[in-house]
Amino acid sequence: MKATEKQTPGFASLVGQDRPVRLLTAALARGALPHAFLFTGIEGIGKKTAARVFAMACNCFERLSPSQTRPSEDAGMEPCGRCRSCLKITSDNHPDVIWIRPAGDMIKVDQIRALCGKLALKPYEAATRFAIIAHAHKLNPEAGNTLLKTLEEPPAHTVFILTALQASDILPTIVSRCQHIRFNPVSVNSLRTYLEKTHGLEAEKAAAIAAMAGGSITRAESMIASAWVRKRDWIIDELEALPNRPVNLCLAFSEALSKNKDGIFTAFEIMKNWLRDLVIYPSAPERIINKDLTQKIKASFQKAPVGDRLQKIRAIERAEADIRSNANLRLSLDALIMTLSREN
Ligand SMILES: [Zn+2]
Protein backbone atom coordinates (compact mmCIF):
# COMPACT_ATOMS: atom_id res chain seq x y z
CA MET A 1 0.00 0.00 0.00
CA LYS A 2 1.21 3.46 -0.84
CA ALA A 3 0.89 6.30 1.62
CA THR A 4 -2.41 8.12 1.29
CA GLU A 5 -2.82 11.87 1.12
CA LYS A 6 -4.95 13.57 3.69
CA GLN A 7 -7.92 15.20 2.02
CA THR A 8 -8.05 18.97 1.97
CA PRO A 9 -11.28 20.31 3.39
CA GLY A 10 -12.04 22.77 0.58
CA PHE A 11 -13.03 23.01 -3.07
CA ALA A 12 -9.83 21.14 -3.95
CA SER A 13 -11.34 18.01 -2.37
CA LEU A 14 -13.97 17.87 -5.13
CA VAL A 15 -12.89 15.41 -7.80
CA GLY A 16 -13.42 16.23 -11.48
CA GLN A 17 -15.94 19.06 -10.90
CA ASP A 18 -14.00 21.99 -12.32
CA ARG A 19 -17.01 23.80 -13.76
CA PRO A 20 -19.21 23.67 -10.62
CA VAL A 21 -16.21 24.82 -8.55
CA ARG A 22 -15.59 27.69 -10.96
CA LEU A 23 -19.22 28.81 -10.76
CA LEU A 24 -19.25 28.65 -6.96
CA THR A 25 -15.97 30.47 -6.45
CA ALA A 26 -17.08 33.10 -8.96
CA ALA A 27 -20.23 33.69 -6.87
CA LEU A 28 -18.00 33.95 -3.78
CA ALA A 29 -15.70 36.42 -5.49
CA ARG A 30 -18.62 38.61 -6.52
CA GLY A 31 -19.87 38.54 -2.93
CA ALA A 32 -23.45 38.64 -4.19
CA LEU A 33 -24.98 35.23 -3.69
CA PRO A 34 -28.19 33.96 -5.28
CA HIS A 35 -30.93 33.00 -2.82
CA ALA A 36 -30.91 29.40 -3.98
CA PHE A 37 -28.79 26.88 -5.83
CA LEU A 38 -29.80 23.58 -7.33
CA PHE A 39 -26.99 21.02 -7.65
CA THR A 40 -27.87 18.11 -9.94
CA GLY A 41 -26.04 14.94 -10.99
CA ILE A 42 -25.77 11.22 -10.22
CA GLU A 43 -25.21 9.96 -6.67
CA GLY A 44 -21.73 10.03 -5.23
CA ILE A 45 -19.99 12.80 -7.17
CA GLY A 46 -19.67 15.49 -4.52
CA LYS A 47 -22.88 17.56 -4.56
CA LYS A 48 -23.28 17.46 -0.78
CA THR A 49 -19.55 18.01 -0.25
CA ALA A 50 -19.72 21.07 -2.52
CA ALA A 51 -22.67 22.42 -0.50
CA ARG A 52 -20.72 21.96 2.74
CA VAL A 53 -17.53 23.52 1.37
CA PHE A 54 -19.47 26.47 -0.01
CA ALA A 55 -21.14 27.06 3.36
CA MET A 56 -17.69 26.85 4.98
CA ALA A 57 -16.16 29.31 2.52
CA CYS A 58 -18.99 31.81 3.05
CA ASN A 59 -18.49 31.71 6.82
CA CYS A 60 -14.80 30.97 7.32
CA PHE A 61 -13.33 33.38 9.90
CA GLU A 62 -9.96 33.30 8.19
CA ARG A 63 -11.52 34.30 4.88
CA LEU A 64 -13.74 37.01 6.31
CA SER A 65 -12.04 39.87 8.08
CA PRO A 66 -13.49 40.42 11.57
CA SER A 67 -14.83 43.89 10.82
CA GLN A 68 -16.91 43.04 7.77
CA THR A 69 -18.95 40.16 6.47
CA ARG A 70 -17.68 40.28 2.87
CA PRO A 71 -14.44 38.57 1.98
CA SER A 72 -11.56 40.97 1.61
CA GLU A 73 -10.47 41.35 -2.00
CA ASP A 74 -7.31 39.32 -1.81
CA ALA A 75 -8.80 36.50 0.24
CA GLY A 76 -8.49 33.07 -1.32
CA MET A 77 -11.67 31.19 -2.06
CA GLU A 78 -10.86 28.09 -0.03
CA PRO A 79 -12.19 27.79 3.54
CA CYS A 80 -9.41 27.28 6.08
CA GLY A 81 -10.93 24.11 7.54
CA ARG A 82 -9.52 24.97 11.00
CA CYS A 83 -11.44 27.97 12.37
CA ARG A 84 -14.36 27.55 14.75
CA SER A 85 -16.91 28.09 11.98
CA CYS A 86 -15.27 25.62 9.57
CA LEU A 87 -14.99 22.98 12.29
CA LYS A 88 -18.63 23.36 13.30
CA ILE A 89 -19.76 22.98 9.69
CA THR A 90 -17.50 19.98 9.05
CA SER A 91 -18.91 18.21 12.10
CA ASP A 92 -22.54 19.16 11.32
CA ASN A 93 -22.75 21.25 14.47
CA HIS A 94 -23.25 24.72 13.06
CA PRO A 95 -26.63 26.16 14.14
CA ASP A 96 -26.92 28.17 10.92
CA VAL A 97 -26.08 25.40 8.49
CA ILE A 98 -29.27 23.40 8.50
CA TRP A 99 -29.44 20.07 6.68
CA ILE A 100 -32.73 18.57 5.57
CA ARG A 101 -32.58 14.95 4.48
CA PRO A 102 -35.37 12.53 3.56
CA ALA A 103 -37.07 10.92 6.56
CA GLY A 104 -37.54 7.43 5.16
CA ASP A 105 -38.54 7.74 1.53
CA MET A 106 -39.65 11.35 1.50
CA ILE A 107 -39.00 14.87 2.67
CA LYS A 108 -42.24 15.67 4.45
CA VAL A 109 -44.03 18.97 4.84
CA ASP A 110 -43.42 19.01 8.61
CA GLN A 111 -39.67 19.05 7.97
CA ILE A 112 -39.99 22.02 5.65
CA ARG A 113 -42.34 23.83 8.06
CA ALA A 114 -39.83 23.35 10.89
CA LEU A 115 -37.09 24.67 8.62
CA CYS A 116 -39.14 27.76 7.70
CA GLY A 117 -39.78 28.36 11.42
CA LYS A 118 -36.03 28.46 12.07
CA LEU A 119 -35.39 30.68 9.06
CA ALA A 120 -37.97 33.20 10.27
CA LEU A 121 -35.58 33.96 13.17
CA LYS A 122 -32.25 35.76 12.80
CA PRO A 123 -29.13 33.66 12.18
CA TYR A 124 -27.32 32.77 15.42
CA GLU A 125 -23.80 33.52 14.33
CA ALA A 126 -23.31 32.98 10.62
CA ALA A 127 -22.52 35.69 8.09
CA THR A 128 -24.53 33.64 5.61
CA ARG A 129 -26.97 31.02 6.79
CA PHE A 130 -27.47 27.85 4.74
CA ALA A 131 -30.44 25.54 4.33
CA ILE A 132 -29.20 22.46 2.49
CA ILE A 133 -31.93 20.18 1.22
CA ALA A 134 -30.31 16.93 0.16
CA HIS A 135 -32.16 14.59 -2.21
CA ALA A 136 -34.66 17.36 -2.99
CA HIS A 137 -36.27 15.07 -5.58
CA LYS A 138 -37.81 13.37 -2.54
CA LEU A 139 -39.78 16.46 -1.49
CA ASN A 140 -43.41 15.37 -1.47
CA PRO A 141 -45.78 17.76 -3.29
CA GLU A 142 -46.97 19.51 -0.13
CA ALA A 143 -43.40 19.97 1.12
CA GLY A 144 -42.38 21.25 -2.31
CA ASN A 145 -45.14 23.86 -2.31
CA THR A 146 -44.28 25.01 1.21
CA LEU A 147 -40.64 25.37 0.22
CA LEU A 148 -41.67 27.31 -2.88
CA LYS A 149 -43.47 29.90 -0.75
CA THR A 150 -40.28 30.47 1.25
CA LEU A 151 -38.19 30.71 -1.92
CA GLU A 152 -40.59 33.35 -3.24
CA GLU A 153 -39.92 35.51 -0.19
CA PRO A 154 -36.46 34.39 0.85
CA PRO A 155 -35.28 35.18 4.37
CA ALA A 156 -32.33 37.60 4.65
CA HIS A 157 -28.72 36.32 4.84
CA THR A 158 -29.86 32.84 3.83
CA VAL A 159 -28.85 30.65 0.92
CA PHE A 160 -30.73 27.49 -0.02
CA ILE A 161 -28.90 24.62 -1.67
CA LEU A 162 -30.97 21.80 -3.10
CA THR A 163 -29.32 18.63 -4.37
CA ALA A 164 -31.07 16.23 -6.73
CA LEU A 165 -30.42 13.66 -9.42
CA GLN A 166 -31.95 15.81 -12.16
CA ALA A 167 -33.84 19.09 -12.42
CA SER A 168 -36.83 17.41 -14.07
CA ASP A 169 -37.54 15.62 -10.75
CA ILE A 170 -38.22 18.98 -9.03
CA LEU A 171 -41.16 21.35 -9.33
CA PRO A 172 -40.33 23.68 -12.26
CA THR A 173 -41.41 26.66 -10.16
CA ILE A 174 -38.71 25.73 -7.63
CA VAL A 175 -36.08 25.14 -10.31
CA SER A 176 -36.76 28.56 -11.82
CA ARG A 177 -35.86 30.21 -8.50
CA CYS A 178 -32.50 28.44 -8.24
CA GLN A 179 -29.15 28.91 -9.92
CA HIS A 180 -28.78 25.48 -11.48
CA ILE A 181 -25.30 23.89 -11.35
CA ARG A 182 -24.77 20.54 -13.05
CA PHE A 183 -22.24 18.11 -11.58
CA ASN A 184 -20.73 15.62 -14.02
CA PRO A 185 -20.02 11.95 -13.54
CA VAL A 186 -16.33 11.83 -12.58
CA SER A 187 -14.11 10.81 -15.51
CA VAL A 188 -12.35 7.45 -15.28
CA ASN A 189 -8.98 9.19 -15.22
CA SER A 190 -9.83 11.62 -12.40
CA LEU A 191 -11.38 8.81 -10.42
CA ARG A 192 -8.33 6.60 -10.92
CA THR A 193 -5.97 9.31 -9.73
CA TYR A 194 -8.22 10.00 -6.75
CA LEU A 195 -8.29 6.32 -5.74
CA GLU A 196 -4.50 6.08 -6.02
CA LYS A 197 -3.90 9.21 -3.96
CA THR A 198 -6.61 8.92 -1.36
CA HIS A 199 -6.91 5.17 -0.93
CA GLY A 200 -3.35 4.21 -1.80
CA LEU A 201 -4.46 1.74 -4.49
CA GLU A 202 -1.96 0.46 -7.01
CA ALA A 203 -2.38 2.16 -10.40
CA GLU A 204 -3.87 -0.83 -12.16
CA LYS A 205 -6.31 -1.78 -9.42
CA ALA A 206 -7.41 1.85 -9.24
CA ALA A 207 -7.94 1.82 -13.01
CA ALA A 208 -10.10 -1.32 -12.84
CA ILE A 209 -12.29 0.06 -10.06
CA ALA A 210 -12.54 3.47 -11.73
CA ALA A 211 -13.70 1.84 -14.96
CA MET A 212 -16.43 -0.09 -13.12
CA ALA A 213 -17.70 2.71 -10.89
CA GLY A 214 -19.81 4.53 -13.49
CA GLY A 215 -18.36 7.94 -12.63
CA SER A 216 -19.41 7.79 -8.97
CA ILE A 217 -16.88 8.27 -6.17
CA THR A 218 -19.24 6.78 -3.62
CA ARG A 219 -19.66 3.68 -5.76
CA ALA A 220 -15.89 3.33 -6.22
CA GLU A 221 -15.37 3.65 -2.46
CA SER A 222 -18.03 1.11 -1.65
CA MET A 223 -16.35 -1.26 -4.11
CA ILE A 224 -13.13 -0.85 -2.15
CA ALA A 225 -14.90 -1.29 1.16
CA SER A 226 -16.61 -4.46 -0.02
CA ALA A 227 -13.31 -6.03 -1.09
CA TRP A 228 -14.51 -5.89 -4.66
CA VAL A 229 -11.15 -6.84 -6.16
CA ARG A 230 -11.06 -10.13 -4.28
CA LYS A 231 -14.61 -10.90 -5.31
CA ARG A 232 -13.85 -10.06 -8.94
CA ASP A 233 -10.77 -12.29 -8.95
CA TRP A 234 -12.80 -15.18 -7.52
CA ILE A 235 -15.55 -14.79 -10.13
CA ILE A 236 -13.07 -14.59 -13.02
CA ASP A 237 -11.12 -17.62 -11.78
CA GLU A 238 -14.33 -19.61 -11.50
CA LEU A 239 -15.53 -18.47 -14.91
CA GLU A 240 -12.25 -19.47 -16.54
CA ALA A 241 -12.25 -22.87 -14.83
CA LEU A 242 -15.82 -23.75 -15.84
CA PRO A 243 -15.12 -25.45 -19.22
CA ASN A 244 -13.01 -28.20 -17.65
CA ARG A 245 -15.19 -28.85 -14.65
CA PRO A 246 -17.64 -31.61 -13.80
CA VAL A 247 -21.27 -30.52 -13.60
CA ASN A 248 -21.47 -30.66 -9.80
CA LEU A 249 -18.62 -28.14 -9.45
CA CYS A 250 -20.21 -25.84 -12.02
CA LEU A 251 -23.43 -25.93 -10.05
CA ALA A 252 -21.54 -25.25 -6.82
CA PHE A 253 -20.39 -21.95 -8.38
CA SER A 254 -23.96 -21.17 -9.36
CA GLU A 255 -25.11 -21.93 -5.81
CA ALA A 256 -22.43 -19.68 -4.31
CA LEU A 257 -23.51 -16.83 -6.58
CA SER A 258 -27.18 -17.31 -5.76
CA LYS A 259 -26.49 -16.88 -2.04
CA ASN A 260 -25.71 -13.20 -2.53
CA LYS A 261 -28.77 -11.99 -4.37
CA ASP A 262 -27.86 -8.31 -4.00
CA GLY A 263 -24.45 -8.92 -5.52
CA ILE A 264 -25.70 -10.86 -8.50
CA PHE A 265 -25.83 -7.94 -10.95
CA THR A 266 -22.33 -6.88 -9.95
CA ALA A 267 -21.23 -10.47 -10.62
CA PHE A 268 -22.81 -10.32 -14.08
CA GLU A 269 -21.07 -7.00 -14.73
CA ILE A 270 -17.71 -8.54 -13.72
CA MET A 271 -18.25 -11.54 -16.02
CA LYS A 272 -19.28 -9.39 -19.00
CA ASN A 273 -16.34 -7.03 -18.55
CA TRP A 274 -13.93 -9.95 -18.35
CA LEU A 275 -15.29 -11.56 -21.54
CA ARG A 276 -15.31 -8.15 -23.23
CA ASP A 277 -11.66 -7.62 -22.25
CA LEU A 278 -10.75 -10.98 -23.83
CA VAL A 279 -12.54 -9.95 -27.03
CA ILE A 280 -11.00 -6.51 -27.42
CA TYR A 281 -7.51 -7.26 -26.11
CA PRO A 282 -5.95 -8.27 -29.48
CA SER A 283 -7.18 -5.14 -31.29
CA ALA A 284 -7.33 -2.52 -28.53
CA PRO A 285 -5.33 -3.59 -25.48
CA GLU A 286 -5.41 0.00 -24.14
CA ARG A 287 -9.19 -0.21 -23.75
CA ILE A 288 -9.41 -3.17 -21.41
CA ILE A 289 -11.18 -2.56 -18.10
CA ASN A 290 -9.32 -5.05 -15.89
CA LYS A 291 -5.97 -3.37 -16.42
CA ASP A 292 -4.43 -5.04 -13.39
CA LEU A 293 -5.14 -8.43 -15.00
CA THR A 294 -3.35 -7.79 -18.29
CA GLN A 295 -1.07 -10.83 -17.86
CA LYS A 296 -4.05 -13.08 -17.23
CA ILE A 297 -5.88 -11.66 -20.24
CA LYS A 298 -2.81 -12.25 -22.40
CA ALA A 299 -2.71 -15.86 -21.27
CA SER A 300 -6.44 -16.45 -21.83
CA PHE A 301 -7.64 -14.53 -24.85
CA GLN A 302 -6.71 -17.18 -27.39
CA LYS A 303 -8.28 -20.06 -25.50
CA ALA A 304 -11.64 -19.60 -27.21
CA PRO A 305 -12.85 -17.95 -30.42
CA VAL A 306 -14.29 -14.42 -30.26
CA GLY A 307 -17.72 -15.65 -31.38
CA ASP A 308 -17.84 -17.95 -28.37
CA ARG A 309 -17.16 -15.08 -25.96
CA LEU A 310 -19.78 -12.88 -27.60
CA GLN A 311 -22.35 -15.68 -27.27
CA LYS A 312 -21.51 -15.95 -23.61
CA ILE A 313 -21.95 -12.21 -23.10
CA ARG A 314 -25.38 -12.47 -24.69
CA ALA A 315 -26.26 -15.43 -22.46
CA ILE A 316 -25.36 -13.34 -19.39
CA GLU A 317 -27.50 -10.47 -20.66
CA ARG A 318 -30.44 -12.83 -21.14
CA ALA A 319 -30.07 -14.23 -17.61
CA GLU A 320 -29.85 -10.68 -16.25
CA ALA A 321 -33.07 -9.70 -18.01
CA ASP A 322 -34.83 -12.87 -16.80
CA ILE A 323 -33.80 -12.29 -13.19
CA ARG A 324 -34.83 -8.63 -13.34
CA SER A 325 -38.26 -9.75 -14.50
CA ASN A 326 -38.47 -12.11 -11.51
CA ALA A 327 -37.49 -15.43 -13.03
CA ASN A 328 -36.33 -17.99 -10.46
CA LEU A 329 -32.82 -16.91 -9.49
CA ARG A 330 -31.29 -20.32 -8.88
CA LEU A 331 -32.76 -21.90 -12.03
CA SER A 332 -31.66 -18.99 -14.21
CA LEU A 333 -28.17 -19.10 -12.72
CA ASP A 334 -27.85 -22.88 -13.14
CA ALA A 335 -28.86 -22.58 -16.79
CA LEU A 336 -26.46 -19.70 -17.34
CA ILE A 337 -23.49 -21.38 -15.68
CA MET A 338 -24.04 -24.54 -17.72
CA THR A 339 -24.10 -22.41 -20.90
CA LEU A 340 -20.89 -20.66 -19.80
CA SER A 341 -19.21 -24.02 -19.13
CA ARG A 342 -19.78 -25.21 -22.70
CA GLU A 343 -16.90 -24.92 -25.12
CA ASN A 344 -17.83 -24.40 -28.74
ZN1 LIG B 1 -12.30 28.60 8.38
Q: How far is the CA of 87 from the centre of ligand 1 (A)?
A: 7
* Greater pLDDT, 81 or 73: 81
Q: How far is the CA of 63 from the centre of ligand 1 (A)?
A: 7
Taking only the tens place, the pLDDT of each residue in 253-269 is 999 999 888 789 989 99
What is the per-residue pLDDT for 344?
A: 56
Does the structural domain 11-182 have CATH classification 3.40.50.300? yes
Say how many residues make up the chain.
Answer: 344
What is the per-residue pLDDT for 75?
A: 53
| Mean pLDDT calculated for residue range 85-90 | 95
**What residue ranges do the domains of the chain occupy?**
11-182, 226-341
What is the per-residue pLDDT for 7?
A: 57
Does the structural domain 226-341 have CATH classification 1.20.120? no
- Cβ–Cβ < 8 Å for 121, 92: no
- Cβ–Cβ < 8 Å for 273, 280: no
| Mean pLDDT calculated for residue range 120-133 | 94
What is the per-residue pLDDT for 267?
A: 94
Q: How far is the CA of 98 from the centre of ligand 1 (A)?
A: 18
| Mean pLDDT calculated for residue range 32-58 | 95
Q: How far is the CA of 229 from the centre of ligand 1 (A)?
A: 38
| Mean pLDDT calculated for residue range 296-310 | 91
**Whole-number percent of the chain with pLDDT over 90:** 75
Q: How far is the CA of 64 from the centre of ligand 1 (A)?
A: 9
Q: How far is the CA of 12 from the centre of ligand 1 (A)?
A: 15
Q: How far is the CA of 95 from the centre of ligand 1 (A)?
A: 16
What is the per-residue pLDDT for 67?
A: 44
Buried/exposed 126-157: b ≥16 CB within 10 Å, e otherwise: bbbbbbbbbbbbbbbeebbebbbebbeebbee
Confirm whether 11-182 and 226-341 share one CATH topology. Answer: no
| Mean pLDDT calculated for residue range 316-342 | 94
Q: How far is the CA of 11 from the centre of ligand 1 (A)?
A: 13
| Mean pLDDT calculated for residue range 118-126 | 93
Taking only the tens place, the pLDDT of each residue in 171-210 is 999 999 999 999 999 999 999 999 998 888 888 889 989 9
Q: How far is the CA of 52 from the centre of ligand 1 (A)?
A: 12
Q: How far is the CA of 9 from the centre of ligand 1 (A)?
A: 10
pLDDT confidence bin for 244, thresholds 50/70/90: confident
What is the per-residue pLDDT for 226?
A: 78
What is the per-residue pLDDT for 292?
A: 87
Alpha-carbon span 90 to 217, nearest angstrom: 19
